[in-house]
Amino acid sequence: MALNIIFMGTPKFCLPILNAIKKSEHNIIGIYTQPPKKKDRGQKIDLTPVHKFAIENSINIRHPENLDTNEEINFFKKKKPDVILVVAYGKIIPSKLLEIENTLFLNIHASLLPKWRGAAPIQRSIMNLDRETGVSIMKIIPKLDAGPVMMKSKVKISKDTNFEDLTLQLSEISSKLILQSLDRVEKGSVKFDKQDESKISYAKKITKKETKIIWSQKAKFIIAKINALSPTPGAWFSLKGSRIKVIKAVEVKGSGNPGEIIDSKFVIACSENAIQILELQKAGKRKMIISEYLKGNTLNVGFNVQ
């Protein structure tokens, strides 16, 4: 029997998952996403990727500021979904909603729980130099990302893996794993395993302050930060008053004072080894590979960036 599903999500990460469910026998009977926001100076209304998907596929879309209202609770009760699937929605699901009978609340979380509970699991796994991460499908309970897990799938992280690539990879894995999970729900063969509370770690939200590159760190940690924040929000430094966002860089052998340009090919010293910038973006400009940048900019070897 096909399941009736209400989907709750916001970013691009959700799209392969939504497409997989839409192509299956199951029915998406409603979608929730974050409210539209005004974008830039022109005040243009910016819809989330999930909102656009709902419009393109003629699916009922809701974007309340607050879920914990009688109107929203009654909407869910009236729809009587078999499953409410939450994926990077950006709002806490209120207890009143979780208490609705005969509805299973599932969450797709981009880590191998209980590791990296919280808002930024993909970025934190890269910044932490983890060798693997993955996807967990869990039952939602009132405590953040603490519910029992139905299924997991692992993926390797290389030293070159960045946020954009890993996000896409995990999203594609999620789109396959959720269909397997829904199949188990449909057949009544669901089994949940409790998380090991002794192995918890938290993936705090990325702050603006920590996006700045700290040159007194080792090169491997700076590269990890660049990869974790690429392409957005981006790790950055200041050169002669201009903010430079690093899109791509590699660790190389080299020494000098931390932050010192030690090679005209844009090699910058760290506390251990150095990084060579391969792709960058000046504030307000387009992305450039380093050869393009060097055509119009001269680097002073021995100069310290901030």
pLDDT at position 12, please?
Answer: 96
CB environment 134-144: b (16+ within 10 A), e (fewer): bbbbbbbeeee
List the chain residues with pLDDT less than 70.
Answer: 40-43
Q: Is the pTM of this model over 0.85?
A: yes
- Give percent of the chain above pLDDT 70: 99
* Segments of 113-229 assigned E as strands: 117-118, 132-139, 149-156, 202-203
pLDDT at position 1, please?
Answer: 77
Q: Name the residue among 133, 158, 159, 124 with its Cα closest to residue 249.
A: 159
pLDDT at position 39, please?
Answer: 72
pLDDT at position 134, please?
Answer: 98
Are the CB atoms for 53 and 81 separated by under 8 Å?
Answer: no
Task: Count CB neighbours of 81 within 10 A.
Answer: 22
Domains of the chain: 4-203 (3.40.50.170), 209-296 (3.10.25.10)
pLDDT at position 163, please?
Answer: 97
pLDDT at position 42, please?
Answer: 60
In the block, which residue shows the tokens 């119009």?
A: 296
